[in-house]
Chains A and B, each alone.
Chain A
């Protein structure tokens, strides 16, 4: 319990939320335990992780805190920039340059008494499975595809069929201008982030010959400056898109080129927008999507109402259009799809013997399988150099290469998905 109970849990504090928690609604699952049990879990036991303390993250933290989550952790690797202040409402001018996670955590703890927010200023990749295992839920407000893919794959891979606690619901939100989406991912149970990767708009890229020789748009001139001219002039020196001097250099060179080709419209803002791939962002859309994410987190944590199955998208540019649907799990998803087999083999089996067994297995119809562990290749059928390099492994015992209970990833041209083997020795 928190030390200061008079000011942190005053009578009537949860008058609003308790109306939901004291009684089921018509669409509430029968397993819902109305009253003290659920409140105790939410307020004293549940541990929730928020990834990202930016546009969505600030909103998510505030909503979770007000909803009654008291043990909240937040990870963010960024520091505060002036352009965040039009929506990231836990930050002020004086905070510019400070880590987002720390400032956000402090703000929430000051404003909402009794809530513990533990910040981590760093990358999600710094943390291991033990770290992620401690949470009941993960809510994600990220702007990077790469980070989302990482956390998604990590949470999917953490699922251990023998341990229900290992399944961590992942709630993910994203926005762009007046549009956004929120989704609930139950790792291995429902469609995951990787399953829907093809729904993403691909970033705009211009043909390199257009940039080099036939620029037409101001964007072409800017890309020329950043893609061709910068590396030509500075070699391996990395372009820092947060450095105004670098942007200034690109802007000037793009502008010069635009003049040369009689192209109008190169501005500082456009230069920055193109090289940083800036996505417009406003407070209101973030509020909607973050609220939706937190609402799902609250419903899943408390079972107080049906939860989103599993994708909500909103377009606010022309009236209010939203679409709620079930995104289907992809059978051939490289993260949550594919087949998983538990295989028991003798400790003295060679890799070659294992491959023979796989080829002979009627139910998987595999030809020419290639095998690897997460850290090394075991045997690759091609290209020739890799085949040669891995050939000596054929003679080796599987048990020399894979520990008991370890995984082997199998790919083959005849397999549209990947196969994962969990090896047990008998």
Chain B
């Protein structure tokens, strides 16, 4: 390859060294989503999957490929001819008669050398009978159970709900074309969200350097090129100051005012199509949208931590996720103090990420530095407040930085116990009215599981009778119930390959969200109908 004159030999050497290592290359397409932090969370996770069904191995396949740390597949049963026919992670005919988990695990671990996988040949009911077994189940970071009998599921879900440090449980049920799943968890703190909106640029309450830039900008003294490259935040800060001066310190509020505000920006253009002014006009919504603390974050301030911060750090044996949730709440309380602090900006800390904008390199870099510097100052103040108020609660510095960077979008989800929703029959009945097909499918799956664990024949009538016991007296079953019941009567024990693969993907997505804490997992029962190909959520 011809080398250009400007190229130095040193460059070529750097190029070779800069190419990522093979692990990074292998995971390239996923690192672009969840980065090194998400990957390391995955790699330190330990997942227990109960029952080696086609659905279970599909889930595991999608967790082994991205590189979870460890999994255990628990199943005491031998491979049946039916299993050998519908499970990709068995050796077909030759697996028949051998233990399901032991047959599946080597074919799963083979997908990714860096994943540690183990087969456990024990009936789950037996495991749940001893302290040792129960503690073993609780030692995982996530538990996934597919089509467990109702009694087993009750025992398991109660065990895991009883203790904040216990792993979340994903319950998966499926038959034929229908399925649902539910994540039982106490609390999920999302510290590294992927929001598609840029955080506040602090335009209505500019920090000193930003205000100074805006003040010192005199449109009339700029040449046309400079004028056409003033960054839009500067234009908006100026326009806001002017507006406030003319409107008793108020921001544009009603529609007419917002239009007038935009018109004022348009009038500043010196010639047609000055893109920076067009941008300013298009971004004018930020002015009325900028509040000191967005309502979603304010509602987090009102949350009482499940574990008091002081106790969690001193209690021995609290789980990693429990500790990290406690630390998260400490940071949340610090954030509240930060907003209230007279030393602070009176709003959430500034982030240094800027959107691209029509301006010249120099102005952009200058603006970027300005935001970065200010964000640094505010992060330092945040840390000072943290230290002053929570001197006994050490929080990892990296976690603090991550939190401060994401304060506009952090989130806390509080979950429910498996089965808690159904205890409120009127809530279920109203859901059946508002979301008939989703609720009907969920109820039908519950009925199916009940009939199966009691050894009752699965007929449409038996399903309907069971469903009626789950609803207030005299509830009328909607049309949609016929579809759900009929489909389950047709294929009550079918773990069909496409449904298994579909759930394999869905559950793995949820597991990744729970483990990485970067995306929002589903709350409530996610219901799947692969006849008409829809999904929906009830009981959130």
Contact = CB atoms under 8 A, between A and B. Distances in A.
A249 B6 CA distance: 12
B519 to A, nearest CB: 5
Interface in A298-320: 298-299, 305-306, 308, 312, 314, 316-320
Contacts of A284: 62, 66, 504-506, 508-509, 512
A278 interface: yes
Question: Which of B28, B33, B81, B523 lies at the interface centre, i.e. has the most chain A CB atoms within 10 A of its CB?
Answer: B28
A314 B18 contact: no
Nearest to A219: B356
A23 B508 contact: no
Given A268-B20, A286-B505, A320-B522, A291 B486 contact: no
A382 interface: no
A177 B537 CA distance: 21
Q: How large is the interface on B (under 10, 10 to 19, 20 to 34, 35 or more residues)?
A: 35 or more
Nearest to B497: A66
A316 to B, nearest CB: 5
B81 A294 contact: no
A317 B22 CA distance: 28
Given A317-B520, A319-B523, A87 B356 contact: no
B482 interface: yes
Interface of A: 6-8, 10-17, 19-20, 23-27, 59, 62-63, 66-67, 82-83, 85-87, 89, 92-93, 111-113, 177-178, 182, 214-217, 233-234, 237, 244-245, 247-249, 251-252, 256, 261-263, 268-269, 272-273, 278-292, 294-296, 298-299, 305-306, 308, 312, 314, 316-320, 322, 324
Contact of B501 (A15, A268, A282, A291): A291
Interface in B33-70: 33, 54, 58, 61-62, 65-67
B88 A112 contact: yes
Interface string B401-440: 0000000000000000000000000000000000000000
Interface string B12-39: 1011101110101111111111000000
B497 A17 contact: yes
Contacts, number: 290
B531 A17 contact: no
A177 B54 CA distance: 24
A338 to B, nearest CB: 29
B365 A285 contact: no
Given A67-B497, A291-B499, A291-B501, A13 B508 contact: no
A298 B496 CA distance: 11
A16 B497 contact: yes
Given A113-B92, A314-B535, A25 B177 contact: yes
Nearest to A67: B497
Given A25-B490, A272-B28, A318-B520, 18 more contacts: A7-B93, A12-B81, A24-B490, A178-B509, A245-B15, A248-B18, A252-B12, A263-B365, A280-B29, A282-B30, A283-B62, A288-B505, A291-B504, A295-B498, A295-B502, A305-B530, A312-B534, A314-B535
Contacts of B486: 25-26
A314 B530 CA distance: 13
Contacts of A112: 88, 92
A287 B508 contact: yes
B86 interface: yes
Contacts of A26: 482-483, 486-487
Contacts of A82: 22, 25-26
A142 B263 CA distance: 46
Nearest to A112: B92
Nearest to B86: A16
A86 B92 contact: no
B393 interface: no
Nearest to A271: B18
Nearest to A108: B88
Contacts of A248: 12, 14-16, 18-19
A7 B486 CA distance: 34
Top-7 shortest CB links A-B: A248-B15, A287-B505, A12-B81, A288-B505, A15-B82, A26-B486, A13-B85
A281 B2 CA distance: 35
Contacts of A261: 361, 365
B92 A111 contact: yes
Contact of B29 (A278, A296, A320): A278
B453 interface: no
B533 interface: yes
Contacts of A308: 532-533
B29 A268 contact: no
A86 B26 contact: yes
B359 A283 contact: no
Given A82-B22, A287-B58, A295-B498, A282 B66 contact: yes
B105 to A, nearest CB: 15
Contact of B18 (A13, A62, A251, A316): A251
A367 B435 CA distance: 53
Question: Which of A177, A245, A317 lies at the interface centre, i.e. has the most chain B CB atoms within 10 A of its CB?
Answer: A317
